[in-house]
Amino acid sequence: MITTPSDSARQAVDHLADGDVDQAFQRLEALAYAVEAETQERTYVALQALEACPEVALAMPRHLPAAAARLKELAAEKAAAHARIRETIGLIRANRR
């Protein structure tokens, strides 16, 4: 069965509701790694597509600044998501003590 990041997040919340902090912590760690891997895979695929078709990039130079800006936005969103995940993991660790 494929588990999506949303499923993992829901499972972590369910574990917390049940008082199983260890399982919740494990689900959140798995979620952080899954999000990172998925982001890296998508970036790799996009870069491969551009490298395979350089004429596309050359034919549409007016779109490149917008694409670069969007990539920067996505990088910022990714960094913010990872910061929230790290913060949540930190809170769980602090509550475990």
pLDDT band with cut points at 50, 70 and 90 for residue 12: confident
Per-residue model confidence as pLDDT tens digits over 42-72: 777 777 776 677 666 666 666 667 777 777 8
Q: Is the dihedral of CA 33, 34, 40, 41 positive or negative?
A: positive
Q: Is the dihedral of CA 54, 60, 62, 64 positive or negative?
A: negative
What mean pLDDT value characterizes the chain? 76
Is the confidence at residue 79, as pLDDT, over 70?
A: yes
Mean pLDDT of 17-37: 79
Mean pLDDT of 75-95: 81
Residue-level pLDDT at 67? 72
